[in-house]
C-alpha cells in the first residue's frame, strides 16, 4: 500500500510543479504578445529590469508604499507585511512559493492594485513580464 | 409537559448567548475568505449590521482609499454572504454586543470605531505604533485565533 502511494507522490509532485510552471509560462507569453504590440522592438523580458521595478523608490502613489519592497520586503524569498494593514504576505519569489503567478485573474488584479499604490499608475505589459521573470528566478 | 417545554425554551435562550459570548462565527465562505482576506483578515460579518455591508459592497472602488472592486458576480455573492451573517441578522455571539451601539439607520464602516471595541482597546500609543500591529484593524497581531472567531485568547 505504501509503495503505490510513494510512487504516486513521486509522479504527482513534479507534475504539479510542471502545471504551475506552464500556467506561469502562459501568462508570460500573453504579456510578451502585448509587449510586442506596444513596441515592435521588444525581444525578451529582463530579470534585471524586473528587479529594478521591484526595488526602485517610485513614490508615485500612496506615501506608505514608495516601493514594492514596502510590503514584499527587500528579499522576495521572505514573508512580507502589508504596510497599510499589517497583514502577513506569503513570499513572492517562486522558489519560496511555487504557486506564485499561476492564476491570471489574481495576477492582473494584484498588478492593478499594487502598481497604483506604488507608481500611481498601471504597469505596462513589459513591466509585468519583467517582474514575473525576476521573481521566477528568485 | 407544555410548561416544561416553555421553561426549557426560556432557559435555552437565556443560556445560549452566554455560551457563545466569547466567540464570533468565523467566515467560512471560500470566496469571502479569499477576496476580503487579501489585504487584511476577513472580518467576521457579525461585527457590522447588514446595511453597513451593503454600503461597503456599493463603495468597493473607494474602500478606505483602496480600489477593492471586484467583478459584479463576485460582489453579489459576497454581499449575500455578509448580509445573511450580519450582526443584526444573526444576533448571537460576542459581536452581538456591538449591535447595541449602532444607531437605527446608521451604516458604520469601521468595527474599530464601535464603542464596545474602544472600551476594550484603550492602550498606550506605543502599543498601536508597534511595527507588528500597524493599525487597530490588524486583529490577528494581538488575537492569534482572530480568524477563527476567538478574541479572548490573551
User: Distance between CA atoms of A85 and A44, rounded to whole angstroms?
Assistant: 36
What pLDDT, in 10s, does the model give residues B142-154?
A: 999 999 999 987 5
Assigned C-alpha cell, A58: 517610485
- Of B82, B41, B40, B34, nearest to A109 by C-alpha is B34
Total of domains in chain B: 1
Q: Name the residue range of residue B70's domain.
A: 24-148
pLDDT of residue B8: 45
B39/A62 CB distance under 8 A: no
What pLDDT, in 10s, does the model give residues A48-62?
A: 999 999 999 999 999
The count of C-alpha atoms lying within 13 angstroms of the C-alpha of B89, restricted to the half-sphere facing its C-beta, is 16
Domain-embedded: residue B17: no
DSSP per-residue string spanning A72-110: H-S-TTS-EE-TTT--EE---STTT-TTTT--HHHHHHH
Domain-embedded: residue B16: no
Confidence band, pLDDT 50/70/90 cuts, at residue B19: very low
Q: What distance in Å separates residue A31's CA from the closest CA in chain B? A: 22
B40/A116 CB distance under 8 A: no
Chain B positions touching A84 (Cβ under 8 A) are 39, 66, 134-135
Parallel, antiparallel, or unpaired for β A88-89 and A80-81? antiparallel
Confidence band, pLDDT 50/70/90 cuts, at residue B92: confident
- Of A69, A76, A125, nearest to A96 by C-alpha is A76
pLDDT of residue B91: 87
Residue A16 has pLDDT above 80, yes or no: no
Residue A36 has pLDDT above 60, yes or no: yes
Domain-embedded: residue B3: no
A84/B135 CB distance under 8 A: yes
Domain-embedded: residue B6: no
Q: Name the residue range of residue A77's domain.
A: 2-136
Domain-embedded: residue B5: no
Domain-embedded: residue B110: yes
Q: What distance in Å separates residue A114's CA from the closest CA in chain B? A: 10
Output the average pLDDT for chain B: 88
A86/B135 CB distance under 8 A: yes
pLDDT of residue B77: 98
When pLDDT is averaged across residues A8-24 and rounded to a whole number, the result is 75
Contact by Cβ (8 Å): B24, B46: yes
Residue B125 has pLDDT above 90, yes or no: yes
For chain B, list residues whose CB is within 8 angstroms of any CB belonging to chain A: 39-41, 65-68, 132-135, 137-138, 140-141
pLDDT of residue A6: 57
Residue A94 has pLDDT above 80, yes or no: yes
Domain-embedded: residue B57: yes
Total of domains in chain A: 1
Contact by Cβ (8 Å): A122, A115: yes
When pLDDT is averaged across residues B66-93 and rounded to a whole number, the result is 95
**CB-nearest partner of B138 from A62, A85, A117:** A85
Residue A28 has pLDDT above 50, yes or no: yes
| CATH code (residue A57) | 1.10.760.10
Residue given cell 450580519 in the structure block: B86
Task: Please give the DSSP secondary-structure letter assigned to residue A4.
Answer: H
More confident residue, B27 or B22: B27
**What ipTM does the predicted assembly reach?**
0.82
* B126 Cβ contact list (under 8 Å, min separation 6): none
Domain-embedded: residue B41: yes
pLDDT of residue B22: 75
Q: What distance in Å separates residue A117's CA from the closest CA in chain B? A: 8
Provide, rounded to the nearest whole percent, the portion of chain B with pLDDT above 70: 86
Amino acid at each position: 500500500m505504501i509503495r503505490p502511494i510513494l510512487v504516486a507522490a513521486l509522479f504527482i509532485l513534479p507534475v504539479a510543479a510542471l502545471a504551475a510552471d506552464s500556467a506561469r509560462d502562459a501568462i508570460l507569453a500573453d504579456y510578451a504578445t502585448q509587449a510586442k504590440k506596444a513596441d515592435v522592438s521588444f525581444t525578451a523580458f529582463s530579470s534585471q529590469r524586473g528587479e529594478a521595478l521591484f526595488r526602485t523608490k517610485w513614490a508615485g502613489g500612496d506615501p506608505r508604499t514608495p516601493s514594492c519592497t514596502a510590503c514584499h520586503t527587500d528579499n522576495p524569498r521572505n514573508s512580507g507585511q502589508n504596510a497599510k494593514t499589517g497583514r502577513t504576505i506569503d513570499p513572492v519569489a517562486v522558489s519560496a512559493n511555487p504557486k506564485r503567478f499561476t492564476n491570471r485573474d489574481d495576477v492582473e488584479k494584484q498588478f492593478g492594485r499594487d502598481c497604483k499604490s506604488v507608481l500611481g499608475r498601471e504597469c505596462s505589459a513589459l513591466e509585468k513580464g519583467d517582474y514575473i521573470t525576476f521573481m521566477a528566478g528568485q | 409537559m407544555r410548561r416544561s417545554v416553555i421553561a426549557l425554551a426560556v432557559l435555552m435562550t437565556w443560556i445560549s448567548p452566554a455560551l457563545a459570548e466569547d466567540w464570533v462565527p468565523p467566515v467560512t465562505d471560500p470566496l469571502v475568505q479569499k477576496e476580503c482576506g487579501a489585504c487584511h483578515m476577513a472580518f467576521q460579518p457579525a461585527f457590522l449590521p447588514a446595511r453597513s455591508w451593503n454600503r461597503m459592497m456599493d463603495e468597493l472602488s473607494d474602500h478606505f482609499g483602496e480600489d477593492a472592486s471586484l467583478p459584479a458576480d463576485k460582489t453579489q455573492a459576497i454581499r449575500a454572504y455578509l448580509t445573511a451573517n450580519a450582526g443584526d441578522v444573526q444576533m448571537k455571539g460576542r459581536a452581538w454586543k456591538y449591535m447595541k451601539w449602532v444607531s437605527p439607520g446608521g451604516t458604520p464602516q469601521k468595527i474599530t470605531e464601535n464603542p464596545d471595541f474602544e472600551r476594550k482597546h484603550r492602550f498606550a500609543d506605543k502599543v498601536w505604533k508597534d511595527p507588528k500591529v500597524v493599525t487597530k484593524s490588524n486583529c490577528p497581531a494581538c488575537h492569534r485565533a482572530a480568524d477563527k472567531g476567538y478574541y479572548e485568547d490573551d
